[in-house]
Structure 1
Amino acid sequence: MTKIISAFAIGVVFGTGILIAGMADPAKVLNFFDIAGTWDPSLAFVMGGALLVTAIGYRLVWVQKAPLLGTAFQLPTASDLDTRLIGGSAVFGIGWGLSGFCPGGLVPALGLGMVEPLVTASAILAGMVVAKSAKSALDRGRAPAAT
């Protein structure tokens, strides 16, 4: 129960920060990307602040032997750049640039009663289904033949 309450509290803090920073407003995000037009550099300060807090947080966390609410840290083991990572990153960036929503800003925006976040969330879910289906099809094609 403590993990659920902790996750909820962290989500509320994160979502509130996203809303206060304006990252749930696709126009603000798209203006950040529009360097030659109506460029709004304010999100650079949001990202810089996030990096600063993260850097401090990592310094505090890595001196611990284990997380407060877990038995071990869960760290990724893969470190190679492959076509899935690069392609997925490109599609993510294109989607973010077209919609103005990254998933971090999308989740709190879903509660604002606007249609755009619902459309974007639906597109993300559809993309996840397509990607999973494509991966399954590729994996079946690579499976060794039964003898």
Structure 2
Amino acid sequence: MRIVLGFLSGLLFGVGLILAGMSDPAKVLNFLDVFGTFDPSLAFVMGGAAITTFLGYRLVWRRERPLLLADFQIPGRRDIDGDLVLGAATFGIGWGIGGFCPGPAWTALPLAAPGTLVFLPAMLIGMALATILKERRTAVA
């Protein structure tokens, strides 16, 4: 049941990204181009996501436990370290250059747009390199 609900959640998320225009890198880049061809429509997408998340968490936290798990899985770390800052900066730079973040890049893949066919492999290689480097750093320490 978890797999089916996970699939349906991912499908709903992907369709939402496509309908919102997040899978169109030109739309995203126009949103980021504040002093040029600024397109504020994605601010409404982000606002809607923030409101949905706010309300969703309020509803979920009323439960003693999730529907399909024994307990809620909440990250324990709250510190800001160099890895977090570097990852956020890399994410932001990649988003600004390519007009994609990971979710919309996957939803744009079936369109076979040239930008997607470059961005997605580069993202996967970057993620693999980050994992390898972190494992090596941990092994040395």
* TM-score category, normalised to shorter length: over 0.9
The CA distance in 1 between the partners of 2:50 and 2:140, in whole Å, is 42
CA distance in 2: counterparts of 1:132 and 1:118, whole angstroms:
22
Instruction: Look up the match of 1:128.
Output: 127
Q: Distance in 2 between matches of 1:119 and 1:67?
A: 38
What are structure 1's unaligned runs of at least 5 residues?
143-147
Deviations 1:40-61 (A, max 9, x none): 0000000000001111100100
Across the two proteins, how many residue pairs are aligned to each other?
A: 141
- Is 1:62 the counterpart of 2:34? The answer is no
Cα deviation code 1:62-108 (max 9, x no counterpart): 00011112111110000000000001100010011111001121121
Q: Runs in 1 of length 4+ with deviation above 3 angstroms?
A: none
AA matched with 1:31: N
Tell me, which stretches of 5 or more residues in structure 2 are unaligned? Answer: none
Deviation at 1:21, TM superposition (A): 0.5
Deviations 1:80-139 (A, max 9, x none): 000000011000100111110011211211122323223211111111121122112222
The structure whose Rg is larger is 1
TM-score, length-normalised on structure 1? 0.91
SS at match of 2:71: coil
User: Match of 2:127, as an amino acid?
Assistant: M
2:52 counterpart SS class: helix
> When the two structures are superposed, what TM-score results if normalisation uses the length of structure 2?
0.95
Shift of 1:34: 0.3
